[in-house]
Structure formats: structure tokens, C-alpha cells
Structure 1
Amino acid sequence: MKHLNKLIVAACMAVGLNAQAQDENNPWAVSFGVNAVDTRTSTADDFGDRFSQFFDAKDHWNILPSVSYLNVSRYVGSNLSVGLTGSVNRIDKLVEKDANGNRIVTNPGDLSYFGLDAAVKYSFMKPLNSKWFDPALYVGGGYLWWGDENTGTFNFGAQFNFWITENVAFSLQSGYKKSFADRVEVPSHFQHMAGLTFKFGGKDTDKDGIYDKDDMCPNEPGLKQFQGCPDSDGDGIPDKDDQCPNEAGTAEFQGCPDSDGDGIADRNDACPDVAGPKELNGCPDGDGDGIADKDDKCPTQAGPKENGGCPWPDSDGDGVLDKDDMCPDVKGTAANRGCPEVTEEVMKQLNDYARTILFNSGKSTFKDETMPVLENMKNILKEYPHAKFSIEGHTDSDGSNALNQTLSENRAAAVKTYLIEHGIDAGRLRSVGFGETQPIASNKTAAGKAQNRRVEVKLIKE
């Protein structure tokens, strides 16, 4: 019995080492019961003789009147399981042949018997589509301690489980153990077993009576008809497929309601309590301009979406709608996108001012009396907020060409900088210098030179 205890401990350790590998309903099974050892096969003259008087237990079966085997097995898939069996017995009936070749049963001296066997078993329960009858075939090997002898064995046989409940079965097993030792030392023999089998290991995390393997929602208690998933709102659609799990709805809308009956589920309906067309997400359009009333700034007047559903205004009354009017507060012309056009008179006035700009001698800084002139130019430019202008600087011929070129550029840039600093958009202005290359009068007289030292403004046409 001491050896049997060791086998039971070893089997329990095997269960513990694999307890996390559960992927089928009740993958583990433990069997225990009684076993019988029959040595009659060692004296058989042919294969058929091995099975004669197979169930003649009284004459040649060795049985202990107590639990004498323990099996632990693990289902691995495809109707296959692997198992480990420990068994113990006492050999007091040994079948031998006498000098005349007749079978006789002797007592070898109550030999101890300990077996440790591993096997792979194939169950026919699923292929037979049975609910309770579970026949199986197995093959494997083991090691046997027979009195003072020991040897390895090759094993094969059949097992029959009769499932009384889902987890408990009455089990019968009969198998042949082919000994690798000498026949006299450790004979080949049959071993029969009868006992109970208990399946366990099925995991039901949410305790809803459905194993995790078959439970589509293993962490939430649910209903069998929904494979273990809940239906919180009771609309017949499981929460996992219900887009509105807490509101009863219809299958048409994946479990969501349609309160206003406009054919749009509330979750997709921007106006769930008022019927409206699908193209406006379920909201009404009172003025028929294609803009939902909730987004329409003028719900009783049709207008474009770009203006919030209101008609476009023409604030300055120049015939150019504000949306197209670059100068919506100043009357202009359609040709100039609603802005007033820069006339020749305006350009003449600008240049009259520009020619009176005075710089300090040889510099690009302004004389004080020029400031009113620059202010007047700025005010004119502001009247034409989208017109672009070129500021051009010129000099007389005094000094070198290089110096005159630089001075003209700097003076034109100074005018541009002043206008920008006083509110004119930089993108509307550019400056350029021409030095002494474009005189408008003779540089031989003081009056001519004075005319040549000038700033001009030109309209940039695009």
C-alpha cells in the first residue's frame, strides 16, 4: 500500500502541473476501483488460446478486496486522451504448466504487484453520437514490479464507460500487458479493472451553468439560448449583438429603438423625437432648402448651406452678393469683385503726393514736412483694400551708379515700410529702385535733377 500512496501523490502532482491547460469541458478524469491480474495467457499455446476461459475469475484471477488502482487522464482533443495509471495487487494464483503440459494454478508465495502505466486512449463516444455509452481503445506502455523482479511492458486494450451523470461513470477495462522479461520471471498477462470515473476541470467563470468553452460571454452570466450571453433589456437580442443593450429595440435596428418612427434608429437620429428624412439624419426641414431646421439660421426662409440656410445679403447694395464681394461694405463693380476700381484720377492723385515726398539729402529718411503727404497716400490706399501697388524710387545722376541704385531702392522701401506700419497689408505692396536709369528731365540743371529725384506709384494689374 505504501507504493500505492506514492502513485496517488504522483498522479495528483501531474494534475496540478497541468491544471491551467483547460480548453475543453471537464478535460480531467480520475478513476479508481479494483483490478484483477490473470496470468493464464503466459501458458497459451496459440493466439486463440489466450482468450479461452477469459472470464474464469475463480480459477486464475488475482484480486485485492480493496481499491487497487488509480488513473488520472487528460483530454487532449480529437477524441484522444492521455493518462497515467497506478495499480497494486497480490499474486497468489499463478497459471503454469506441469511436466505433462497441463495447466495448473499454483501459489508463488503471494508476490507483490505494482504497476505504473501510461496510455493514449481513443473514445468512440462522439463518433457514435452517444450520450452515455463511451467505448474506447488504448495503447501504451508501463513498468512493473513483480515480487523481486521488474520489467517494462507494452500495453493495449479496451475500456467501457457508462456515464451515469455528466460527470460520473461506471468503468470497465480489460487489457493485455506484454512483458519484456523472461516468461518465468515476469509473465505477460491480462489486467482487468472495474471502478468509477469522475470528470472535472470544466470552467464556468460567470456561474451561469454554461462552460467557458461554450460560453460566448464567459465573464457575464447569461442565457443558454444566447450561448451564455446576457440580454439586459429583454428585447430578444443578446447584449453582445445589441447596439443599445439597455434600451429595448428591434432586430431591424440591431436592438435599438426608433421613437419617432421615421425609420432611423434613435442612436443615429439627430432628432429622435421628431420625424425627419434620412438624408438629414432624421431631422425636419421646414423651408425645404435641404438644411435641417436645427442647423438652419433661417428655418422659414430658404437659403444656401454656405450661409447657414439664410439668403445671401448684399450689404453695400452694389449688386454683388456679400459672399462674392471682396469689399462688402463699400460699393464697387462686379468687374472688380465688388470693390471700387482704381481710376486714372486716383493714380494721378497718388503720384502727385508721391512726387512731393522729401528725403534728407543722400539718405532714405523722411523730412518732417513729408509726413502729411504719406498719411494722405495711406488714406487713399485704404479706400481700395484689394488693389496692389508698386512703389518705385528714382535718383538724379549725381554720384556713382551703384550708390544711386542703392539709394533709390532704400527710399522706395522706406515708403513701403511706412505704409505697412500704418495699416496697409504688406501683400498689397512691393518696392523697387531704378537709380538714375529712368530720368524724366535733364540732369544738367538743378530743376531737372529735382524732378528726377522722385517716388512714383503704379497700379499692379493681375
Structure 2
Amino acid sequence: MKKILKYVVVGAALVSAAFVNAQDASNRWSFSLGVNAIDLYPVGEKDQGLGDYFDQFFNVDHYNLMPAPSRFELGYYVGDGIVATGAFSLNRIDKAGDTRIEDLSYVSLDGGLRYNLREIWNGSDVFNPYLGVGGSYQWLEDDGFGTFNGTAGFDIKIIENLMFNVNTIYKHSFEDGLPKHWQHSAGVKFTWGAVDTDGDGITDNNDKCPETPGLEEFMGCPDSDGDGIQDSEDVCPNNAGPAENQGCPDTDGDGVLDKDDQCPETAGLVALMGCPDADGDGIKDSADDCPNVKGLAAFNGCPDTDGDGIKDSEDKCPKTPGVKEMQGCPKPAVPTQQEQAQLNEYAKTILFDTAKASIKKQSEEVLADIISILKKYPDAKFSIDGHTDSRGSDSFNQRLSNDRALSVKEYLVQNGIQEFRLSAMGYGETKPIASNNTKAGRAQNRRVEINLKK
């Protein structure tokens, strides 16, 4: 039976060790020393002349007290309120309740786990009650035996890293003839081994961000941009901003946070993602080719004043609707087909001196009719084309036709037609309209035409 209990005690110690791992806590280690007292009376053994459980529990006359430092305990904070402990104690036993017995030496090795109850309500470290379980092996003179233990106690903080400790252990033996007993102890506890992983001066057990350096007012969490809002609650942790903007800046004060503002340094409109629209045409200035003049999206913000589909900057008549082929200006009024035919009927009757470009005087009347038609259409442009029959050399005919076209042009200009409206070109004998083999045909081929330029 003794061997079985030894295995139980060793097993309890191994279980305790298995729970030990790295932890985030202040003062991981503790060392206690103090006096201990053994009480064999209130253990539920009335048939052996002892008391019921807890009977005369506080009767110090029943205590076997070792006044000198006689109990030593080492503790390691595992985490989540759990502390693994190992203890050594010694005493002398000379009474069981009111009964004197043979003076016996007592030595104990203990191991166990305890739980800090203040973890439940997140209490202060000034007062820390705890409960625990474990096992131990005791030697009473030459007899060794194991027990299963239940522990209760508390720590009271004296100063930083120093506490007053009171501890009570019930040690239950399962072997006949080997005593169940209580072991009470009181003493001081020293703690050390504070962990500050991020080196910010706040121990990990009090640090909500133990792996990132932070500030005391945020329980160890950082405020990277220094705006008074901790990073975990700061939508813009790297750019200082006010609390009303959840820590985000609005540099230009336009109501659009910089993180959403496409023009963060220039006040603008919410609808345009913080960019300005100087002319109010709904197109942000950076995309507006005419930022100071209200315009249309179709023309990148430039206006089309006359609404003809041609933006003003490309419209030569920006206030008058026009057509693209006239660069925004309206098409000029032009002669009707009947008038165009009449012009050429008149032009065919212009007479020149033989083999010369000089106009005969009797042609002035028909030229006046031509001028009358041309003046009706001041914006229309015309070409004056000279033609000859095939008599004579090609070069002579080309020169003669060109000179006669120029002669007509000069006459029209001298009589009130603007020169820019007229062009003159000779085609010689290259464009006959009748046969050059007859006198009548040659007469038709010797002609001047006045045609509308398109």
C-alpha cells in the first residue's frame, strides 16, 4: 500500500509539472518561508479519540508548532490564475489533540496546483485568496507515507514583491495507522520574474498588447500617431486625427477624411471625394479641361455655349450653332440649283477679245447679273474656271484659259466681291463639253464657269 501511495504522490507532481508553460504574468516566481504547525485532531477519527472534521479547528493547544522557519515553498505562475508549487517542511510531533505522544520527527515534500480566486472577479493584488490540490510524501520518524492534499490560503500584499502568507493544507492518508492531519503555516512570500515582453514598462499580465510597446494610459497598447486614440480603436493608426473622426485626419477640413479624400490638401466636395469643382459643373478640377468655366462632362468640363456639339475652344462661332465641317460655324447660304445654273449660263456669255484675256465691254451687263447673285450669298465661296477649244497649242490654251479666269476674278473683285471668296483656275482644252470638230462645238468649249465651292 505504501508503494501505491508513493506512485500517487509522484504522479501528482508530474501532473503539476505538465501544466507549467510560458505565461504572461507579473512576478512568475515566488518563494515562501515561514513556521508550520501540524494538527492531528480534527480529522474525523472519533473512534481513535480524535475529533470530527474541523472539530476545535482553531484550538492552538492541539498544534505541533515549529516556531523557527520550517516550511519553504517555491511557486511558478503557470497562467490563467494557476500556480504550480513545490514545498519542503519539517516539524516535531508530540501530541494528538490533548493526548501526549512519543516525540516524532516530521518531514514532508509537497507538490500541487492552486488557483488564485481573484482571477474570477479580476480583483486587486492586495488580497489574493486561493484554493489548491496536490499530493505529498511524509516521513514520520522512519515511516514514509503519501497523502492527497487540499489547500486553502491567502496572500496579503505588504509592499511590492513582498506578501504575508497564510496557508492551510489537509493531508489525507489512505493507509491504516498513518495519520491524516492538517498542516497550517504562516510566513512571508517573495515574488519576482516580472515579464515585459515588449519592454514598454508595463508587465505582460497588465498589458493588453504585450508584444507591442505601448502607453500606460492604454494599458500597454500603442498610439502610433500620438493622437490620443489607441491603435486598435484608431481607423487611421498612422495618421493623427481627432476622436470624432475615429482618429483619421481631414487635412483640408472639407468633411472628407484624408483616407477617402482624392484631394486631401485642397478643400472640396463630398460628392467628388473631397476634390474641388471651381466652376460648379460637377466635374472635379483635376479632370476638368476648363476648371474655371462651367462645362459639360462630354467635353471634360469645357463649355459648348451654342449647344451645337462642338466645344467652345474648337468652335470658331461659339455663340452661333454651327456644323463640324465649318468648325462650329453655320453653313453659309448658297445659291439654289437654279441660281447655280443661271450663273454658268451668264458666265458662258462673257466675251473676250480674240486670243486674249481682255473682257469685251458688251459683257458688263452679264457680269453685273453675276455680281448680283454672288452678293446674295456673302459667305459662299466660288471657283472661276477657264476653258478653251482645241485650236492652238496645249501650252497656249492652258495659259489663255488661266488668264481669262483671273481676268474675270479681278473684274468681280473690283466690283465689290471679296477676293477671299474667289479662286481662279484655267483648264485649257482638257475639259470640253462639246466636239471640237465643229464650229458650234468649239464655241461651247470656249467658256468660263463660276461654280460653288463645297
Query: Normalization by structure 1: what TM-score?
Result: 0.53
Aligned to 1:164, the other structure's residue is in SS state strand
Find out whether 1:36 has 2:41 as its counterpart: no
Which residue of 227, 233, 248 maps to 2:219?
227
Aligned partner of 2:71 in structure 1 is: 68
Which residue of 219, 236, 252 maps to 2:244?
252
Find out whether 1:211 has 2:216 as its counterpart: no
The one-letter amino acid paired with 1:155 is N
Measured at CA, do residues 34 and 232 of structure 1 come closer, stay the same or move farther in structure 2, by a change above 3 Å? same
Measured at CA, do residues 106 and 50 of structure 1 come closer, stay the same or move farther in structure 2, by a change above 3 Å? farther
Aligned partner of 1:138 in structure 2 is: 132
The one-letter amino acid paired with 2:216 is K
Shift of 1:151: 1.8
Aligned partner of 2:52 in structure 1 is: 47
Aligned to 2:286, the other structure's residue is in SS state helix
The one-letter amino acid paired with 2:71 is S
Inter-partner Cα distance in structure 2 for 1:65 and 1:132:
27
Which residue of 170, 179, 182 maps to 1:176?
170
Inter-partner Cα distance in structure 1 for 2:57 and 2:250:
79
The one-letter amino acid paired with 1:223 is L
Superposition pairs of residues 330-349 of structure 1, within 5 angstroms? none
The one-letter amino acid paired with 2:92 is I
Q: Is contact 1:298-1:309 (8 Å) kept?
A: yes
Aligned partner of 1:264 in structure 2 is: 256
Aligned partner of 1:83 in structure 2 is: 84
Inter-partner Cα distance in structure 2 for 1:19 and 1:152:
23
Q: Is contact 1:35-1:69 (8 Å) kept?
A: no
- Identity value in percent: 38
Aligned partner of 1:56 in structure 2 is: 61
Which residue of 144, 154, 160 maps to 1:150?
144
Inter-partner Cα distance in structure 2 for 1:217 and 1:127:
21
Measured at CA, do residues 85 and 193 of structure 1 come closer, stay the same or move farther in structure 2, by a change above 3 Å? farther
Shift of 1:285: 2.0
Superposition pairs of residues 304-315 of structure 1, within 5 angstroms? 304-310=296-302, 311=304, 312-313=309-310
The one-letter amino acid paired with 1:47 is D
Shift of 1:131: 5.0
- Tell me which structure has the larger Cα radius of gyration: 2
Deviations 1:203-236 (A, max 9, x none): 3223333333543443443322223233355432
Task: Extract unaligned runs of 5+ from structure 1.
Answer: 1-10, 97-101, 323-327, 329-462
Inter-partner Cα distance in structure 2 for 1:285 and 1:206:
49
Shift of 1:316: 12
Aligned partner of 1:93 in structure 2 is: 94
Q: Is contact 1:30-1:73 (8 Å) kept?
A: no
Task: Extract unaligned runs of 5+ from structure 2.
Answer: 1-11, 328-454
Q: Is contact 1:22-1:202 (8 Å) kept?
A: no
Inter-partner Cα distance in structure 2 for 1:244 and 1:121:
41
Q: Is contact 1:117-1:143 (8 Å) kept?
A: no
Inter-partner Cα distance in structure 1 for 2:252 and 2:153:
66
Inter-partner Cα distance in structure 2 for 1:199 and 1:75:
14
Aligned to 2:68, the other structure's residue is in SS state coil
Measured at CA, do residues 306 and 215 of structure 1 come closer, stay the same or move farther in structure 2, by a change above 3 Å? farther
Shift of 1:104: 2.2
The one-letter amino acid paired with 1:70 is E
Measured at CA, do residues 17 and 274 of structure 1 come closer, stay the same or move farther in structure 2, by a change above 3 Å? same
Q: Is contact 1:22-1:201 (8 Å) kept?
A: no
Measured at CA, do residues 63 and 50 of structure 1 come closer, stay the same or move farther in structure 2, by a change above 3 Å? same
Spell out structure 1 runs of 4+ moving beyond 6 A: 11-19, 314-322
Find out whether 1:197 has 2:202 as its counterpart: no
Shift of 1:280: 1.7
Inter-partner Cα distance in structure 2 for 1:257 and 1:137:
52
Which residue of 282, 288, 293 maps to 1:296?
288
Inter-partner Cα distance in structure 1 for 2:315 and 2:253:
47
Shift of 1:146: 2.6
Measured at CA, do residues 133 and 44 of structure 1 come closer, stay the same or move farther in structure 2, by a change above 3 Å? farther
State the Cα RMSD in Å.
Answer: 4.4
Measured at CA, do residues 286 and 76 of structure 1 come closer, stay the same or move farther in structure 2, by a change above 3 Å? closer
Shift of 1:164: 1.8
The one-letter amino acid paired with 2:165 is S
Q: Is contact 1:208-1:221 (8 Å) kept?
A: yes
